[in-house]
Structure 1
Amino acid sequence: MLLITPPGVYPAQGDTRLLTEALEREVLDGRRVLDLCTGSGAVAMAAAALGARVTAVDVSRRALAAAAANLLLNRRRVRLRHGDLLAPVAGARFDLITANPPYVPSRSAPPRRGIARSWDAGRDGRALLDRICADAPALLAPGGVLLVVQSAVAGVPATCAALARAGLRVGIAARLRQPFGPVMTARAGWFEERGLIAPGQREEELVVVRGVRPV
């Protein structure tokens, strides 16, 4: 897959790869797939390559422009929608929903513009995760699957508990440990003060949480 990632658009990284690997273990041919926080469109294109009918959503117009360019470059068909999380697809139903939302704890509320909007997610890192856990299950068809990737610093147990409360059967689809990137490294001292990481810890665990709506 060839990807154009202009300035201001979140580049495909370890979380993108981990979510894509989890996606590829699902049966997708002919299925309806929704990719939230699509960024450059990497996960959406992976689903389309497996025969899915894909809709991708992002709040950033710049990200959607990059995704559109990448779709042309890779000759994939994906419906792109601009808007806040699930708002552009309200009332629709999907067999699979993927999400790679911002999840890095930040000292302030999530910004409304700029590249930091791709990762800053409030003091606990759950500004968007909690909304996805609360609202996405209702858009799943019976037997539908939700895949959400996040860092362990943003509370994987909280995600699992929220999806279980929403009626999904919950498990862990994939895990990956990787060194902190520049953003996490810059905040490591603050994370230590808050007990989000152990003293001296400079790597994080990425986790894909999988929720299934009962048939």
Structure 2
Amino acid sequence: DGCGCCRGCAKQLGELCTERDPCDPHKGLFCDFGSPANRKIGVCTAKDGAPCVFGGTVYRSGESFQSSCKYQCTCLDGAVGCVPLCSMDVRLPSPDCPFPRRVKLPGKCCEEWVCDEPKDHTVVGPALAAYRLEDTFGPDPTMIRANCLVQTTEWSACSKTCGMGISTRVTNDNAFCRLEKQSRLCMVRPCGADLEENIK
């Protein structure tokens, strides 16, 4: 709030806000009440061209940077989006490598598949030939299908603060076990409706 007397944390990008619960001005955020302007509840939105703070460093809107050797990130209007630089290959190596594991090799950033020899000489059924039971916990068995470890990200925040927007996620839950981007319609709130009338 600028006076340094508040005991609560300022609201962050995409969170609901009010005049009593303001957005973080240090990150270039403002409370978007939409229209009509007499609303009391809004959504924290970044001002066009707002900078981003990531890992203690401030980046200009539109600036791209590598957060590590594994990710390329871009700041856009106060929000940081990152894409992986390492192969997202979640498919296991061929069946002639029955005991695969991903390891970080010296001098390389991204993990790579290596084939280990079996620890013991027990016979494993052909259906499980491509998988090895780990000594520690492994992936959820319900997420393993025919040589595919199913992985799905969470749905992204809605692209609009009011009205219909788009939310996306990445998954390999398909017949070819290939990563694909999925989209769905979303709505945080209607643009013309007054939220206070619906709060009980």
User: Higher Cα Rg: structure 1 or 2?
Assistant: 2
Considering fraction of residues, name the structure with more helix.
1
Q: TM-score with structure 1 length normalisation?
A: 0.21
- Higher share in strand: 2
TM-score normalized with structure 2 length: 0.22
* Higher RCO structure, 1 or 2 (CA under 8 Å, sep 6+): 1
